[in-house]
Amino acid sequence: MRRTPWWLSAMLLSACSCGDSPSGGPCAPNPPDLVCSRECVNTSNCPPGFYCSPGRGTCYADCDARTGDGCRMGQGCTAEGRCIDVETAGDARVVVPSGDGGNPFVCAEVELDTERTTPNVVLVIDQSGSMTESFSGGNRWNVLRDSLLDDDGLIQDLQDQVRFGLALYSARGDEGSPPIGMCPMVQTVAPALNNYDAIEAVYSEEEPLDDTPTGDSLDFLLDQIEFAPDRSDDPTIFILATDGEPDRCEQLDPQDGHEESVAAVQRGYRMGIRTFVISVGRGTVSEEHLQDVANAGVGRRDGEPNAPFWEAGDDTGLRSALREIVGGALSCVIELRGSIEPGMACSGRVELNGVALPCDDPNGWEAIDESHIELRGEACERLQNGMAAELKATFPCDIVLI
C-alpha cells in the first residue's frame, strides 16, 4: 500500500529563560568572545549568532541571540546577533530581553513548518549457514529475501518514502579456529530512495555462508556512518534480522559474542541510530539476548519497561514485523527546524491538536536527537490517522541550541 506524504500544519518552537536584565552581547565583555576576532568576508563565514561587520572585517554580534542581552528596551536580538526594533521586526525572529526590575524575558514564538522525515533504514541480514534451515515452506534465507524483494514486498512498496540500505554479514571459519580470511565479511548497499534495483542486484546473487559475527559487523557499519563525509541528517535505524546466537571475530566458536553485540548496539544508539531486532524463526536466539539487544537499541535502562523484539515463526509473521518497524519510523518521526538538548527535552511540552503528550512514554513522545522527536504508541496512531495535525512544541531557552 502506497502512503501519501502529508504536511503537519505548524510547529511552534518557543522558549523562555530566567536571566537578569540585559548585560551586553558576546563582543562587549572584556575579554570578548573569540569569535569576535574571526576575519570574515560575509556572514556565511561566521557561526550562528554572529554577522560579518563590514567596518571591522570580523564576525560581530550586537547582542546575545539566545538571551537578547545587549539590546535596549523595545528591541529584540535576531539570529545573527543584530538589535532591531520589535515594532518594525515584522516576520523577523527575535529574542526580547526583559526590562528593568529583573522580570523574566520571553523568547519570541517562532512558527515553523515541518514534514515527516525520510528515514534511512538499513536491513542488517545474518548470512550465516543456519539460514538454510527449513522455514515456512522454504528456508529462512529465501523466505526473508522474498519478503523484502517480492513485487508486494517491503522495499518495492515503500522505496519512494524510505531510504533503504542493505548489509549482509557473515564470516568463514572452522569450529574452534580463527576466521579464514576477512572478518567480518560485510557486503553493503548504501541507503537511497528508489533503491530496489541496487539492493536486488546484490541480494539476489548471495547465499548463506558460515558464521554470525554480529557485534563486529555492526561496528563495521557504524564506522562507515561515523566517518562518512556526507552523513544524512534524517534518522537512521538498523533492522537486525538474525537466526542465531552471535559469534566474535576473535574466535568464531563457541558463540559468545553477546556482550560485544549489545555494546555495538549501544554505540549505535549513542550515535543516534536505533536498532530493532527480529529473530528469523522461534527459539533460534535466546529471548534474554533478544531483549538485551532490543533495550540497547532504543536506549532503555534497567528498571524501565522492556522494548519490543520480534520472533517470526512464518512468512506472515516476518512480513508483519518488518512493516511494523518501518511503519513506525516512517510515520511518526518529526523534524524540528531548530535544535534542542535531547537529555533535557522532557522539560519541554509537546501538544498534538491541543492535547499535551507525555514525554518518554510508550503513548507519548521522545527526543531522538537534537533535531528530531518521535511520537509513539497512541500518539503515533493519532498522528497517522489524522488528515492534518497541529503539533506545538515549547522548550525552555536553556535547552534550545542555536
Q: What is the pLDDT of residues 230-271, one digit of tens each?
A: 888 788 999 999 999 999 998 887 788 899 999 999 999 999
pLDDT at 127 over 50: yes
First to last CA, the chain: 39
C-alpha 286/C-alpha 324 separation (Å) is 22
For residue 299, give Cα distances in angstroms to 80, 232, 251, 343, 368.
36, 21, 28, 12, 10
400 falls in which pLDDT band (50, 70, 90)?
low
The residues facing 268 across adjacent strands are none
Mean per-residue pLDDT, 53-73? 84
104 falls in which pLDDT band (50, 70, 90)?
very low
Cell (9 digits) for 57: 572585517
CB 114 within 8 A of CB 335: yes
Classify 281 in phi/psi space as left (phi over 0), alpha (psi -120 to 50) or beta.
left
Identity of the residue numbered 208: P
pLDDT at 213 over 90: yes
How high is the pLDDT of residue 117?
A: 67
The residue behind cell 513506525 is: 328
**Domains assigned to the chain:** 1-16+114-402 (3.40.50.410), 19-106 (no CATH)
Classify 299 in phi/psi space as left (phi over 0), alpha (psi -120 to 50) or beta.
left
CB 392 within 8 A of CB 350: yes
177 or 315: which leads in pLDDT = 315
C-alpha 69/C-alpha 359 separation (Å) is 31
Cell (9 digits) for 200: 536486488
Worst-scoring range by mean pLDDT, 75-84, 91-100, 212-221?
A: 91-100
How high is the pLDDT of residue 330?
A: 66
pLDDT at 391 over 80: no
22 falls in which pLDDT band (50, 70, 90)?
very low
C-alpha 43/C-alpha 298 separation (Å) is 39
* Continuous H helices in 187-314: 196-203, 214-226, 258-270, 287-297
Instruction: Give residue 365's Cα distance to chain centre.
Output: 14
348 or 266: which leads in pLDDT = 266
Question: Residue 135 belongs to what H/E stretch?
Answer: strand 134-135
The mean pLDDT value of the chain amounts to 81
Question: CB count, 10 Å around CB of 336?
Answer: 20
How high is the pLDDT of residue 92?
A: 58
pLDDT at 398 over 90: no
Please provide the DSSP assignment of 38-99 as one string.
-B-SSGGGS-TT-EEETTTTEEE-SS-TTT-TTPPTTEEEETTS-EEEGGG-TT--EEPPP-
How high is the pLDDT of residue 373?
A: 86
223 falls in which pLDDT band (50, 70, 90)?
very high
C-alpha 378/C-alpha 316 separation (Å) is 24
pLDDT at 195 over 50: yes
Under 8 Å CB-to-CB from 123, ≥6 apart: which residues?
148, 164, 165, 166, 167, 199, 239, 241
C-alpha 94/C-alpha 322 separation (Å) is 45
DSSP 248: B
The residue behind cell 520571553 is: 106
